[in-house]
Amino acid sequence: MISFEKIAKVWNVYGDFYWEGLGNTLWVAALAVVLGSVLGLLVASGRMLTIKPHENVVSKVIKSVLKFICTAYVEVLRATPLLVQVMVIYFGCTSIGLKLSDGTATRMLWGLVAVGLNSGAYLSEVIRSGIGAVPGGQMEAARCVGMNYRQAMVNVILPQAIRNILPALCNEFVTIIKETSVLSMVGIAEIMFQANAVSAASYIFVEPYIIAALMYFTVVFPLSKLVAAFERRMSRSVTR
């Protein structure tokens, strides 16, 4: 039976562990969204490359290869669990000659890389759909006033696409906060890792995880409500 007395006891003794884990969780989640956004933009750009009939063979081959690589990246990472990706990236680095130290910074770095790569695969589709939602006439109008493709994308299309993308970016941040729990499997001191450590140190096997669940809830629930309110406000401003 769950004991509130044990919950209070665990928190009083090991509360600092959980605060440290929460800080690491939020730090990794925020940086992973930034990394995922950059990767997502690059991958979305690669998948949206158009091969024109008048281009030379070399250009067509390069574009085809880039589109294939970007598509394969998205399909593979979206079709495999994040836990598997973390294990492959973290432990697989030694097989290609990258020696990993046991330092906390190194573990956090590779955990961030794994989560960021996963986030990039999902955000690339979000960005691609956000760009696709911008009316096609916007590009034509930009080209008519003398802008090249890059200028039109940076100055006209992307600013409008960001409006469509922002709610999904916020949702991705909320999702990653929960998904960082898998990083405990490779020794990264986020909330779940600290809960495991507290459970092993105190020989209390339920209450430490209840505290972890409460910490996730107190962070994710308000953020989810804020994102929902933000989405409603954005949708109202679009319809005006």
Q: How far apart are the C-alpha atoms of 18 and 198, rounded to whole Å?
A: 9
Per-residue tokens: 114: 């794994």
**Phi, psi of 6, deg, nearest 5:** -70, -40
Per-residue tokens: 172: 């991705």
Q: How far apart are the C-alpha atoms of 144 and 168, rounded to whole Å?
A: 31
Q: What is the mean pLDDT of residues 130-138?
A: 80
Q: What is the mean pLDDT of residues 122-137?
A: 86
Question: What phi-psi label fits residue 115: left (phi over 0), alpha (psi between -120 and 50 degrees) or beta?
Answer: alpha
| pLDDT (tens digit per residue) in 159-186 | 888 888 888 888 999 999 999 999 988 8
What is the CATH number that goes with domain 30-190+220-239? 1.10.3720.10
Report the predicted TM-score, pTM, of the whole model to 2 decimal places: 0.86
Please tell me which residue, 48 or 102, carries the higher pLDDT value. Answer: 48
Q: State residue 220's pLDDT score.
A: 94
Q: What is the mean pLDDT of residues 133-150?
A: 79
